[in-house]
Amino acid sequence: MSRYHHDRRRKILMAFFSRVATGIDLGTANTVICRPRGGVVLNEPSVMVISKDNGRRPHLVACGKQARALVGHTPQGSVTARPIQDGVIIDLELAKMFITALMGRVSQQSWRRFRARAVIGVPVGATSLERRALLEVADEARISRAVLIPEPVAAAVACGLDPLGPTTHMVVDIGGGTAEVTAFCYGGIVANRSCRVAGDEMTLALYQHLRQEHHIIVGEVTAEDLKIKAASEEGPSLVVEGRDAGSGRPRLITVAVEEIVQATAPITAEIVQTLAGCLDDLGAQGVKDVMSEGVYLVGGGSLMRGFDKLVEKTFGFPVKLAERPLTCVAEGTAMCLTLPAVLKAYGTS
């Protein structure tokens, strides 16, 4: 075979590979799917609406953004469900329906003819049973040769770090259900601490604060949107729409952005304590590396206003927010498809 034909064949194979191979971040709040060469191809809430009419097996009504729009006011006979909690699968049947539906959206014709290859992010603290459940669901959802890789390692790859090098890197991943602090180097995990308080608990804390201090009841989606807006709001306050706790009538109030930050302060304080515990688990050289290089913040919770400054003030080392904290885990898993050494060191299948 001539060099020209060899190169052409390689390009054709790479183009096909990029269409059927995916990197997947199955988050508690959002599921993100990336291609090795195409970037983010799907970013949807990890929510689904299922019908349970007449005691039959549940079937999918809506998923992703369509399902989130129905939270709090689903039609009779239907309920909202979250098949992923704390970064792991809690319902095998629902998870299979959810993943199959999302993969069908991004794979089109190639999905019907070929089984996709995928690298899937998984929390470092996931048990062997939880990992096995994820691989089982991936197989039933027509994903072949699925490989699981720790989410902080995938995020580090997307941030341009080398998880195989001798320098200790530390990543703080604040997702919807779990916050994880992980240190790794030379192809292995050095230290890991996690806490089951993260973005969802911030939303709950804000909901409770509004009810107790302002006597206004808001929906889950409203509280979450308010938390997200507070992270980037340039003005001093935000308008909140809800229902008066006493009269039940619609009501509008104005809440200071700083008040929203203070309402979530107990959650961020617990995450900081988790980071302190992970530092305690490191050896002297590892701490030296972290003090020199700093820590990387990823995940939606890391966007909470003032969190990076709080970490810097508490520990005195540099804090670096990922360029795309909401999607860097999925981007890193897609990049790992072309990094066999990283998959060999950190992956499980």
**Residue 24, pLDDT above cutoff 60:** yes
pLDDT in tens, 291-346: 999 999 999 999 998 999 999 999 999 999 999 999 999 999 999 999 999 999 99
Helical segments of the chain, H only = 3-20, 65-68, 92-113, 128-140, 151-158, 199-214, 220-232, 257-263, 265-281, 284-293, 307-315, 328-336, 340-346
Q: How far is CA 288 from the centre of its chain?
A: 29
Task: Quote the distance between the C-alpha of residue 347 and its chain's center.
Answer: 18
> Where is 164: in which H helix or E strand?
none
3-class state of residue 191 by DSSP: strand
> CB under 8 Å to 260, separation ≥6 — which residues?
206, 226, 227, 230, 238
On the question of pLDDT at 123 being above 80, the answer is yes
φ, ψ of residue 304 to 5 degrees: the values are: -55, 130
Per-residue model confidence (pLDDT) at position 4: 47
Mean pLDDT across the chain: 88
In angstroms, the CA 213 to CA 258 distance is 14
CA distances from 325 to 188, 303, 305 (A): 23, 8, 14
Which tokens hold the place of 102? 């999302």
pLDDT band at 75 (very low <50, low <70, confident <90, very high): confident
Q: What would the pLDDT profile of 208-225 be if each residue is shown by its tens digit?
A: 999 999 999 999 899 999
Place 5 in a pLDDT band, splitting at 50, 70 and 90.
Answer: very low
How far apart CA 77 and CA 72 sit, in angstroms, is 14
Give residue 17's pLDDT band: very low, low, confident or very high (50, 70, 90). very low
pLDDT over 90 for what percent of the chain?
A: 70
Q: Give the model's confidence band at 104: pLDDT under 50 very low, under 70 low, under 90 confident, else very high.
A: confident
> Does the pLDDT of residue 169 top 90, yes or no?
yes
**Cβ(52)–Cβ(78) below 8 Å:** yes
Residues 6 or more apart whose CB falls under 8 angstroms from that of 222 comprise 240, 241, 242
pLDDT over 70 at 11, yes or no: no
Task: For CA atoms 151, 152, 158, 162, give the dihedral sign.
Answer: negative
pLDDT of residue 2: 54
Please state the rounded mean pLDDT for residues 157-168. 96
pLDDT at 109 over 70: no
Cβ-count burial of 15 within 10 angstroms (0-12 exposed, 13-18 middle, 19+ buried)? exposed
Residue 7's pLDDT band (boundaries 50, 70, 90)? low
* Cβ-based neighbours of 341, under 8 Å, separated by 6 or more: 164
Amino acid 1: pLDDT: 52
* 34 SS3 class: strand
Q: Which residue has the higher pLDDT, 100 or 331?
A: 331
Q: Which of these ranges, 7-16, 247-256, 309-318, has the smallest mean pLDDT?
A: 7-16
pLDDT of residue 103: 86
In the chain, the amino acid numbered 64 is G
- How open is the CA angle 243-244-246, to the nearest 5 degrees? 140
Q: What is the pLDDT of residue 112?
A: 46
Cα–Cα distance measured from residue 263 to residue 203, given in angstroms and rounded to the nearest whole number: 10
CB 155 within 8 A of CB 171: yes
In the prediction, which pLDDT does 85 show?
A: 85
Q: 91 pLDDT exceeds 50? A: yes
* pLDDT tier, 173 (very low <50, low <70, confident <90, very high otherwise): very high
